[in-house]
Amino acid sequence: MIPRPFDYERPRSLDEAAALLARSGDAKVLAGGQSLVPMLSLGLARPQLIVDIGALELEGTDVAHGRICVGARTTHRELELGAQARELLPLAAEAARHIGNPRVRNRGTFGGSLAHADPAAELGAVVLVHGGEIVVRGMAGERRIPVEEFFLGYLETAVGEDELVVAVELERLPDGSGIGFEEAAGRADDFATAAAAAALTLAEDGHTCAEARIAVVGVADRPLRIAQAEEAARGETFDQELLRRVQTAVEEAVEPEDEAFVSASFRKRLAGVCARRALEQAWRAAA
């Protein structure tokens, strides 16, 4: 399909971008375009204005004030292969390699993926496991949204109509933490049928779980952090029985819907299996 006609602007500053968004009232932000362009082509998005933020310097990964700061225009490819990004955010690096294909990863952006809020997108699980804030900018200035309050529903976030995501500030995992990521999809390059991210920190004895963080995607209208599964692991030593309890806790916590090619019961089971495998990876990495 041919997209409906729209106006196009390429602002040179964040203030200009916010002003354009506020003035239009019916605008979409273009970053990497890997979600927006297909939606335009299919007629699923019909904005009056496209605000292209490609000229704004919003890339890079660094540490500031004890947090890991990632620019909104940092690509999935940079997360996957960049030396500094891999060192600071190994969980994001592991998740990023599952995103689409090399073309998508070369163009798609961290901020764009979060702002699009597809419930099967891998990076939603990553930010929930880390914790932190999404930094947005609008006419009223800068605003910080806790990651647990960012996703509101299917393709819906707490970003205002005149705001755009400019950065993500994530909490650093405790020293010595292990990470894991597991995804299941119908075919290569497909969206995840279910996926899970995990981080685990061992106690001083080197055997007991001091803290576990587990998040899943693809099983609800938004990414979910599974407190019941985390509680099942906390204070326990590693064995297959513990992993079974974690899997069960995830399966009991999620309520996916039936779809044309995937039943709710299968997706529920798959989410538990992904969480179990991700936690096992994290445990072995931390040991």
pTM, two decimal places: 0.94
Whether the per-residue pLDDT at 1 is higher than 70: the answer is: no
As a whole number of angstroms, the distance between CA 245 and CA 234 comes to 12
The answer to whether residue 44 scores a pLDDT higher than 90 is no
Identify which of 251, 273, 275 has the alpha carbon closest to the alpha carbon of residue 264: 251
Task: Give tens-digit pLDDT for 147-184.
Answer: 999 999 999 999 999 999 999 999 999 988 999 999 99
Q: What is the pLDDT of residue 223?
A: 98
The mean pLDDT value of the chain amounts to 94
Residue corresponding to tokens 């407190």: 227
- Integer Cα distance of 3 and 40 in angstroms: 5
Domains of the chain: 7-51 (3.30.43), 61-171 (3.30.465.10), 178-286 (3.30.390.50)
Cα three-residue angle 104-109-114, rounded to 5 degrees: 115
How are beta strands 164-171 and 156-157 bridged, if at all?
A: unpaired
For the chain, the distance separating the N- and C-terminal CA atoms, rounded to the nearest angstrom, is 52
Query: What are the beta bridge partners of residue 161?
Result: none
